[in-house]
Amino acid sequence: MRTKDAVGQYGEQLAAEHLAKAGFAILERNWRCELGEIDIVARDGQALVVCEVKTRRGLNYGSPLESITYRKLATLRRLLGRWLQEHEVRPAEVRIDIVAVLFPHGGVPTVDHVRGVA
């Protein structure tokens, strides 16, 4: 396994723990279809949340949150639709959250959770 994938997986693990602690019920992780992949699907009260996790090892190339482009958000929206279709659920509210994990070399990782970006 390449280092960047290992870092990503570790970040997703931290993100899932963070969400669970915040009271989210994790429904599914790494759900795939031909459109792409959803990192975490969770339920937050009435809302179904599709959660993208972005992990970085430093700020040299900008913060993890900054790397989320409009194109990425558009993909997430399409994935959300597909997930709802395939699971035949009709939640009262749907949401896309981003969890940014900053995992500096030799430092303590920090988790930043932004709700409702789209």
Partner 1 sequence: MPLAQAWSVALVGLEGHLVEVEADIAQGLPKTTLIGLPDASLSEARDRVRAAVVNSGQKFPDRKVTIGLSPATLPKTGSHYDVAIACALLAAGGGVDNGRLRQTAMIGELGLDGRIREVRGALAMTLAASRSGFERIVVPELNAGEARLVPGIDVYGVRSLRQVLALLRGEEIPDEAPPRAEPRLMSESLTRVPEVDLDDVLGQREGRRAIEASAAGGHHIYLHGPPGSGKTMLAERLAGLMPDLSTDDSLEVSAVHSLAGLLTSDAELVVRPPFIAPHHTASLASLVGGGSGMPRPGAISCAHRGILFIDEAPEMHPLTLDTLRQPLESGFIELHRAAAVAKFPARFLLVLAANPCPCGLTGSSNGVCTCTPQMLTRYRQRISGPIKDRIDIQRQIEPAARGEADGERPESTAVVAARVKAARDRQAHRYRDTVWNINSEIPGPILRREFPLDAGSQKVLESLYSDGRLTARGFDRVARLAWTLADLAGVGQPTAELTHQAFQLRSGAPLTALSDARSVRGNSAA
Instruction: Answer whether 78's CB lies under 8 Å from 58's CB.
Output: no
For 53-72, give the DSSP string.
EEEES-STT--GGGG--HHH
Asked if residue 44 binds partner 1 (CB under 8 A), the reply is no
Ranges within 53-72 binding partner 1 (CB under 8 A): 63, 65-66, 68
Asked if residue 112 binds partner 1 (CB under 8 A), the reply is yes
CA distances in angstroms from 12 to 3, 30, 63, 87, listed in the order given: 14, 9, 17, 23
The count of chain residues that interact with partner 1, using the rule CB under 8 A, is 12
Asked if residue 86 binds partner 1 (CB under 8 A), the reply is no
> What is the binding site for partner 1 (CB under 8 A)?
63, 65-66, 68, 73, 98, 100, 112, 114-117
